[in-house]
Amino acid sequence: MYKYDDFDHAFVAERVEQFREQVARRLSGELTEDEFKPLRLMNGLYLQLHAYMLRVAIPYGLLSSTQMRKLAQIARTYDRGYGHFTTRQNIQYNWPRLEDTPDILEELASVEMHAIQTSGNCIRNVTADQYAGVDPEEIDDSRVWAELIRQWSSLHPEFSFLPRKFKIAVTGAPHDRTAVKFHDIGLIIKRSDAGEIGFEVLVGGGLGRTPMIGRTIREFLPKDYLLSYLEAILRVYNQLGRRDNKYKARIKILVHETGIEELRDMVEAEWTRMKEEGIDLPDAELARVRGFFTEPDYEDLPDNDQYLQVKQFENPTFGRWVRANVAPHKKPGYAVANISLKPVGGAPGDATAAQMDAVADLADRYSFGELRVAHEQNLVFADVKKADLYALWKELDDIQLGTPNLGMISDIISCPGLDYCSLANARSIPVAQRIQRRFADIKRQFDIGALTLNISGCINACGHHHAGHIGILGVDRKGEEYYQLTLGGSADENAAIGKIVGPAFSSAEIVDAVETVVETYLKVRNEGEPFIDTYRRLGQTPFKSALFEEKQHAAA
């Protein structure tokens, strides 16, 4: 993984000092809250429902065990002993004190971490594939490009006061695990016919009030021009993005209102000049950064699964964990292990300090001291020997991190909701927990199979509900928590926005409604057909019918 050099260290150290001074000026009253707010946001510090909230950047979700231990220590020392992993691969602390935040940032800087630009109207954490570097089908390692973009976007003088936040994702494999088509800029790594690496560039994806799928602005951008092309897009957005209405200020609205053709012309015209202006990096820097993302010291192992198969047979729960949570690895004898942070009844994406420390130790022993955070709010050990999977799983299971539910209905992606967030209209975590309890039977979950369920507590859609096979949106109806159900969303390369099925359900009704949807699916599916395929084949009709007409019929 990337290692800071003296410049990087100096950068974060100075940032800490600058913020320390800004906090002091705030506490003394020299800065008003109005003046301080954009400054604290650019250091990831929100004012939330119960307290401040600090969002720490985990660049493209990659962590060393040392960094994970530091995150645990911060949770223990400065917070209430836990943290929340987010849908953008970051971590959030819910109870920091403003007066402690300079010290927290200093602790983070000591392990090459920061909270720069995790909020505010600037370029946010660049996300990438949690299987980067190990997926057998990968075209190129998305982390290399995410790191280059991360540096370029840090305290960019021209683009720090954009119309609105700006999110970039990079994906490097045919199967997209980054929701790339729902980002302001999505970069899909491709190879040209001549074998060169480049990007298909998408703009204008997003969720929130007006969900949109990104449009291709350029089919193939040679890799050497990545930064100048990004600057061209950002400059056009900075100048023309709407600033009159917060809800129409993202680039997706600019794409929608201007049209992709005209926007492309503007960007290309700008880029024609920009690529001559010394923005792009020399080969030496591309090679230097790429050099950090080399393979770990793999052993040459036979691709023999016998031990694994025996263990799966002996221990059905382990067997399920392998089936659900373990993914193929490019190197024979190795596997990718997903660690679910969605135990039944927990808060999705949360981990205690003790669990974080334990995971750090496990990473050291089983996965070369590194791990990743997925945007589905789970953790990933990317380089585990197949022969070690059973031992690893047993240790995970001991600390409630062995739930075999990856990609299944209880692997719920959820924002913190009204329990924590002042923007929310309704609570999300209790709904997630009740759904998990309803579907707690693991055999039933396996029978249902792959099904993504996303919950957002408000239209800002931090739970990505539009992109879930089943999406739940919390709304406030006459002072009560109600929940709107959407179906058919998809976050991968077949990106789709879920459609609302009908009137919202009360808090008491929503779990039954989800169960009705699932039962309907089970009744109408073809053999082996996953939920999303059944939905695409049959549309909303059978589900609407089951939810609304049959109920009325029963009531009549």
Partner 1 sequence: MPLLKQGQLTDDHWVRVEDDADIADEVAAVVSLERWQADADLLKRRNAPVGVALANDQSPDEIADDLDAIGTVFLTFPVYTDGRAFSQARLLRQRYGYKGEIRATGNVLRDQYAFMQRCGFDAFEIADGSDLAGWGRSAQAVSHHYQTAADGVKAVWEKRHGQQAEI
Partner 2 sequence: MSIHIATANRLTDGIVVFLGYDGEWTRHIDDARIAERDDDIAELKVEAETAKTVVGAYLIEADVSSPEGRGRIISPLSYKERIRAFGPSVHPAFAKKVVPEHFDPRADASAVFMNGI
Give residue 81's identity as a one-letter amino acid code: G
Instruction: Choose the binding region for partner 2 from 9-17, 97-105, 230-238, 273-281 (rule: CB under 8 A).
Output: 97-105
Subset of residues 120 to 149 that bind partner 1, contact rule: CB under 8 A: 121
- The dihedrals phi and psi of 476, each to the nearest 5 degrees, come to -105, 115
> What radius of gyration do the chain's Cα atoms show?
23
| Contact string 475-494 vs partner 2 (x = CB under 8 A) | ----xxx-------------
| 3-state percent breakdown (helix, strand, coil) of the chain, nearest 5 | 40, 20, 40
97 touching partner 2, by CB under 8 A: yes
Token pair of 321 as six digits: 């964990």
9: DSSP letter: H
Site string for partner 2, 39-58 (x = CB under 8 A): --------xxxxxx------
In 3D space, the residue among 133, 22, 58, 33 whose CA is nearest the CA of residue 374 turns out to be 58
* Residue among 33, 193, 261, 277 that touches partner 1 (CB under 8 A): 277
Interaction between residue 269 and partner 2 (CB under 8 A): no
250 scored as a contact of partner 2 (CB under 8 A): no
Residue type, position 525, single letter: R
Q: How far is CA 518 from CA 45, 448, 537, in A?
A: 39, 8, 16
User: Which residues 204-233 are close enough to bind partner 1 by CB under 8 A?
Assistant: 227
Q: Per DSSP, what are the bridge partners of residue 203?
A: 185, 215
Closest of 395, 375, 376, 374 to residue 384, by C-alpha? 395
Q: Which two tokens stand for residue 444?
A: 């039933």
Each residue 353-372 as x (binds partner 2 by CB under 8 A) or -, in order, gives --------------------
Binding mask 104-123 toward partner 1 (x if CB under 8 A, else -) reads -----------------x--
Query: Minimum distance from CB of 104 to partner 2 (Å)?
Result: 13
CB of 157 to partner 1, least distance (A): 4
Q: Which residues contact 79 (CB under 8 A, 6 or more apart)?
A: 93, 94, 95, 96
By CB under 8 A, what part of segment 229-248 binds partner 1? 235, 238-239, 243
Measured from the CB of residue 48, what is the shortest distance to partner 2 in angstroms? 8
Stretch that binds partner 1, among 33-41, 73-81, 181-189, 378-386 (CB under 8 A): 33-41
C-alpha 218/C-alpha 90 separation (Å) is 29
Q: Cα separations (Å) of 316 from 370, 392, 409, 449?
A: 28, 16, 19, 16
- 362: part of which helix (H) or strand (E)? helix 353-366
Name the site residues for partner 1 (rule: CB under 8 A): 5, 7-8, 10-11, 14-15, 17-18, 21-22, 35, 38-39, 121, 151-162, 227, 235, 238-239, 243, 273, 276-279, 281-282, 284-285, 288
Name the site residues for partner 2 (rule: CB under 8 A): 26-27, 29, 33, 47-52, 80, 95-99, 345, 347, 418-420, 422, 424, 427, 429-430, 433-434, 437, 479-481, 506-508, 511
